Structure 1
Amino acid sequence: MTTEYEIKFLQYPDNVIQTIQELGGTQIFPKTLFKRVMFDTEEMKTKRAWLRLRDEGKKITCTYKQVVADGTIEGVKEIEVVVDNFDEQKELLEQVGLRSRNYQENYREEWELNGVKIDMDTWPIVGTYIEVEGNSEEEVRKVCSMLDLPYEDGIFDTTDVIYKQTTGVDMLTLDTLAFDNVFQNL
């Protein structure tokens, strides 16, 4: 499994996109609706692991994720593959015994600066936060500094933890978390 070196910022400078552009960063894709189904088993839950099937607009990924340490940039390990059919992959995962936990939507706009991904993620109710992800902690720290994102203000938690802290809602207990029905589930 590979280590996911990422940090999230709930607060960020208003001109962060302009700064990325001025520093030579490029937009990888514009604001795009992401749709995902989360899967697990009882055994995976005890390992703090899950499987995510995600339609990213131009590609579909299936990713195994596992939290190995809380509160660190190296806290999540993952294995990701690209698949070609969301519905067939969902059926396959269910047929091998994985439990479809819930459906989630968010919007993502992705930029790249010095080989580091900068995602603007927008979730129902929570709003938009920045996620900075690179191949090493050093790369991530450098880009955070370039964008005036104080590393010590960053968050290393998963989105579900951030969601619960900011809204009081455990998004993992919702059957559906989508922009068109978010208030029906609360």
Structure 2
Amino acid sequence: MGNRRTRKKGRAAVRKVVVGVTGSPGSLTALHRAAAEARVRGAELRVVLAWQAPGGELGSRNGLGPCALAECRAAAVERLRDALDTAFGAGVPGVTLAGFTVRGTAGAALVDTARDPEDLLVVGTGSRTALRRLVRPSVARYCLAHAACPVLVVPPSPLQAELDAAHRRNFWRIPLDPRELAR
């Protein structure tokens, strides 16, 4: 029969929309966008939370037993539930939803889950300060370089910049200027 693509309203049919979550505001923004894309395309929404054992793979080889790994996985499942509850509350996203916790790095887990060319991979971007880029590589860049399907990169919510500024102001104990409240 071959690998035929059916067209729906001028778009190639998407089998599934895959999105990664961590529970951060940026990942929740990406989750909402992925749910909207899945609704428009009539696709299944797969929500992935990647996790690693403390110390990464090296840490799991140096004495973490099956009990500790089971606890790490259980914590990842709970974080996924919390992220879905935060994003959708008691409501439903209006699409078929499947949640997955995957042991591994976020980029590799997402690329592996969205391995079909008909899939759509949705990733969020967080704040990318120089220190953060040095310590933690970009999941979005990894996905763009390695995915076999289209990748939609969702910028952070405009409110995120204001939230980051408030955190910096609180951290450095800078008083709030009342004129800022009048905006």
Largest Rg, 1 or 2: 2
Quick check: which one's strand share is greater?
1
- TM-score, length-normalised on structure 2? 0.26
- TM-score, length-normalised on structure 1? 0.26
